[in-house]
Amino acid sequence: MQRTRVFLDNRPWQEALEEYREVLRGAGALAPGQGEKQPTRTALGRVTAEPVYAVLSSPHYAGAAMDGVAVRAEDTFGASEEAPRRMRLGGEAVVVDTGDPLPPGFNAVIMLEELNFPEEGVVEIRSPAVPWQHVRQPGEDIVAGEMLLPANHVLRPLDLGLLLAAGVVEVSVYPRPRVAILPTGSELVDPNPHPLPGQILDSNSTMLAGMVQEWGGEPEVFPITPDDYDLLKTRLREALQRSDMVLVNAGSSAGREDYTARLVAELGQVLTHGVAIRPGKPVILGVVEGKPVIGVPGYPVSAALCAELFVRPLLYEKQGLPAPRRATSRAVLSRKIPSALGREDFVRLRLARVGDKLTAVPLGRGAGTLTTLARADGILRIPRGSEGFSAGAEVKVSLLKDLTDIEATVLVSGSGDPLLDVLGNVMRQLYPGRSLTLSPVGSLGGLQALRQGEAHGASLNLWDPATGEYNVSYVEKLLAGREALLVNLAYRQVGLVVAPGNPQSISDLQDLTRPDLTFVNRPVGSGIRLFLDTSLQRLGIKGEEIKGYDREEFTHLGVAAAVASGRAHVGLGIYAAARVYGLDFIPLAAERLDLCFLRETWEEQAIRDLIQTMRSQEFLKEAGQWGGYDLRDCGKVVWQNY
């Protein structure tokens, strides 16, 4: 087989996929295998390799369709209400139940409700029977020899019932495509709760195996292969012998120890190394021994997207099926999404129905942010010739979840807090199908989203130094002219998050100016950042005097993680986050965390479910276990302007 040079292309992914499929078809790699017999009872989800014909008629005998008595129709002629006809049971008439075979010589059934039994062994008939009334004839539903299902048909539960009713106890189906998954990298280790620094847990193998299984394939995950060219070659050859397709995970880029492209070129042919997408650019599409070998990038989001674009269509074709199209919907973007010309961007989104429109909240775009993939409701595709979309743009999104589930989501924008995750979890338990999505854009961003109709509610912790109050003045200003209300979630402890034992002996905000300390901040627009900046101003401290002042973490847990890992000595956060990481905490204030709603949507069922959850004993019990929260007013309306 011809070999090509190894380099990073920048091809449109559609062009690369089409060329790849043509080459694989020419090699016969995408043709479904020979049919294999499978017991019908266990054939759910399999694909028929040939037409399936009925072995038996259904029903295969003349049977009673009602409870009653079987008669000869001609014996009942002339019967009426005025002149009922009496017949002997066991001779002229026979009692039958639904499904019983019709006795020989009988050709009709009179239903029980139309009969009278004046004495034992006698039935009285008040109207004549029509020949074959209430009788299921042989072959009424299925005729022996009739085609029940065509080839290339995915077997559903109803199909299995049909086949078994027709006496088909085994069916010829295509073999499931066998897919070998080769995780590679000396830094990779099997998942465990205590990895060493520099070790990366192999989560991609299980994710890819699950995707393969979901698409009808049969995955086999090989042991982790370190960065050893000869060992990887041995493993690849072994995988080729045992599978129809090989996915080599990681090592697909052009680094010093990225061997995949070179190895595929040595053993076969590299058709594409690099496509114009983000994430997932360094994917490798190769053919070895007439079988597809795909180099899947190591970053989780890149791996998932490349599997979706390149593995999924091949697996379906190998089963004689077209890849099902993802459901789509129109949605309105809550924020601007920029994109570079020349590449196609795939952006993960959270979706929620707010009013009469579907609102799309962009998630993080990093190739390694697996959480955004797990939490995404949809994907937005930005074409190569576009520089992105502006906030408020209506776009077409591919749905990753059922639209019914998406429309049951409550979207809250604003300040992040672990308590909101707890609230969403409890609400899902109390109201199955209902979910809570948080768009952590800071308190000011949350109010703006609420004003523009891009959220059901806003989470706020905005302190007004002029009044000493929380949230009210900001709602009055940013929602001027709108009727609104504030519902308290909690009073939470805010302070300095430090390492266990406070080894730097930090005591207050003035210590942040020390040259031996590195600080980690919260973003501009968040309530806690406003508290910090106001407090520093009163102390006469400027931000540039604090090392790390411009370094921001978007969540309270992110601040705690930075301190726990040693990337910072101190951060401003909440007690609950410090407790999660076993850190010490120096309290500075107790701030009020409220949820803001507009009166016009207050009676919507989604919001009522959320409020009832806040007031529930289940939530109060769960929230109380976190520590650092005062829940005395939880679920209470603490302010309204109407």
State the Cα–Cα distance between residues 177 and 53, nearest whole angstrom.
Answer: 25
pLDDT higher than 50, residue 6 = no
Name the percent of the chain in helix, strand, coil, to the closest 5: 30, 30, 40
Work out the pLDDT band at 442, boundaries 50, 70, 90.
Answer: confident
Mean pLDDT computed over 29-50: 96
Q: Are strands 63-64 and 93-96 parallel, antiparallel or unpaired?
A: unpaired
Predicted local distance difference test score (pLDDT) of residue 4: 43
Q: Which of 405, 409, 414 is nearest to 334 (CA)?
A: 414
525 and 443 Cβ atoms separated by less than 8 Å: yes
pLDDT higher than 80, residue 544 = yes
194 and 182 Cβ atoms separated by less than 8 Å: no
Predicted local distance difference test score (pLDDT) of residue 2: 43
DSSP structure string for 529-545 = HHHHHHHHHHHT--GGG
CATH number of 454-640: 3.40.190.10
**511: three-class secondary structure by DSSP:** helix
Q: Which of 196, 252, 203, 265 is nearest to 4 (CA)?
A: 265
Work out the pLDDT band at 355, boundaries 50, 70, 90.
Answer: confident
Predicted local distance difference test score (pLDDT) of residue 370: 76
Work out the pLDDT band at 374, boundaries 50, 70, 90.
Answer: confident
Q: What order do you get walking across the sheet with 291-296 strand by strand?
A: 218-221, 178-183, 245-249, 291-296, 284-288, 269-273
184: left (phi over 0), alpha (psi -120 to 50) or beta: beta
State the Cα–Cα distance between residues 531 and 514, nearest whole angstrom.
Answer: 20
Domain boundaries, the chain: 13-32+176-318, 36-58+140-173, 63-136, 454-640
Which amino acid appears at position 99 of this protein? G
Instruction: Give the pLDDT confidence of 258-288 residue by residue, as tens digits.
Output: 789 999 999 999 999 999 999 999 999 999 9
Which amino acid appears at position 585 of this protein? F
Least confident of 7-16, 332-341, 363-372, 620-629: 363-372
State the Cα–Cα distance between residues 574 and 22, nearest whole angstrom.
Answer: 57
Predicted local distance difference test score (pLDDT) of residue 95: 96
Predicted local distance difference test score (pLDDT) of residue 480: 93
Instruction: Give the pLDDT confidence of 53-93 residue by residue, as tens digits.
Output: 999 999 999 999 999 999 999 999 999 999 999 999 999 99
State the Cα–Cα distance between residues 500 and 566, nearest whole angstrom.
Answer: 11
Which amino acid appears at position 362 of this protein? P
DSSP structure string for 565-585 = TTS-SEEEEEHHHHHHTT-EE
The CATH topology of domain 13-32+176-318 is Molybdenum Cofactor Biosythetic Enzyme; Chain A (3.40.980)
Please provide residue 324's backbone torsions phi and psi, each rounded to the nearest 5 degrees. Answer: -60, 140
Work out the pLDDT band at 214, boundaries 50, 70, 90.
Answer: very high
Alpha-carbon distance values, 415 to 116, 572, 592, 595, 596 (Å): 76, 14, 12, 10, 11
pLDDT higher than 60, residue 241 = yes
pLDDT higher than 70, residue 640 = yes
Work out the pLDDT band at 554, boundaries 50, 70, 90.
Answer: confident
Q: Which of 453, 493, 294, 226 is nearest to 358 (CA)?
A: 453
**433: three-class secondary structure by DSSP:** coil
Q: Which of 538, 544, 553, 556 is nearest to 512 (CA)?
A: 544
User: 36-58+140-173 belongs to which homologous superfamily?
Assistant: Molybdopterin biosynthesis moea protein, domain 2 (3.90.105.10)
pTM of the model: 0.84
Secondary structure of 49-106 in HEC code, one letter for each residue: CCCEECCCCECCCCEECCCEEEECHHHHCCCCCCCCEEEEECCCEEEECCCCECCCCC
State the Cα–Cα distance between residues 156 and 272, nearest whole angstrom.
Answer: 37
Q: Do 454-640 and 63-136 have the same topology in CATH? A: no
pLDDT cut 70: percent of the chain above it = 97
The CATH topology of domain 63-136 is Molybdopterin biosynthesis moeA protein; domain 3 (2.170.190)
DSSP structure string for 149-183 = E-SS-BPPHHHHHHHHHTT--EEEEPPPPEEEEEE
Mean pLDDT computed over 12-35: 96
Largest CA distance in the chain: 113
